[in-house]
Amino acid sequence: MKTLSVTAEVNAPLSIVWQVVADVYNYHLYAPNITESVYVRGDGVNSVRKCSSKEGSWLEVCTNWSNLDSYSYKVLTEGDNYPYPFKALDATWKTVEISSGKVEINLTINISFKYKLMEFFVYPLMKRKYQSICDQLMVNWQRECHKKLTEAA
């Protein structure tokens, strides 16, 4: 299993940051590699969303939901149409209030490859690419939080 982690700080109240980070059905507006993120069924834990990219689409199941704190999704990688070489992939998004008006956003992605050799040859290349994607996600969330903060003022 390989892990990719990204952290960013936002100068905004937790309520605004959570509103942006927890908008899971508009994830595609912030994540540059996702073209669509739509509701399939349910709310909170065990809810299902469908995500798409230029490579294909897949389903994700929510495995944790704790308001104003964190949520997690497990990607259903078993389908024949799943476009990536992962045996398992799960991600957790977490918000931590550092001080009044300052929040840290953490994203942790755990990945297992279908074939062990891919871990050695493909992961280093993918890590660079996905690090850049996750960094841009954080920048986009920061911008949206600042926009909402300005609108609220």
Q: What is the pLDDT of residue 153?
A: 74
The bridge status of strand 2-10 relative to strand 36-41 is unpaired
Radius of gyration from C-alpha coordinates of the chain? 16
What letter represents residue 62's amino acid? C
pLDDT at 134: 94
Q: Print pLDDT tens along the chain (153 aa).
A: 899 999 999 999 999 999 999 999 999 999 999 999 999 999 999 999 999 999 999 999 999 999 999 999 999 999 778 998 899 999 999 999 999 999 999 999 999 998 888 888 888 888 888 899 999 999 999 999 999 999 987
Q: Which helix (H) or strand (E) holds 92?
A: strand 86-99
Rounded distance, CA 80 to CA 119, Å? 21
Q: What domains are there in the chain, each with its CATH number?
A: 2-152 (3.30.530.20)
Summarize pLDDT for 26-54 with one digit per residue, the tens.
999 999 999 999 999 999 999 999 999 99
Which pLDDT belongs to residue 14?
Answer: 97
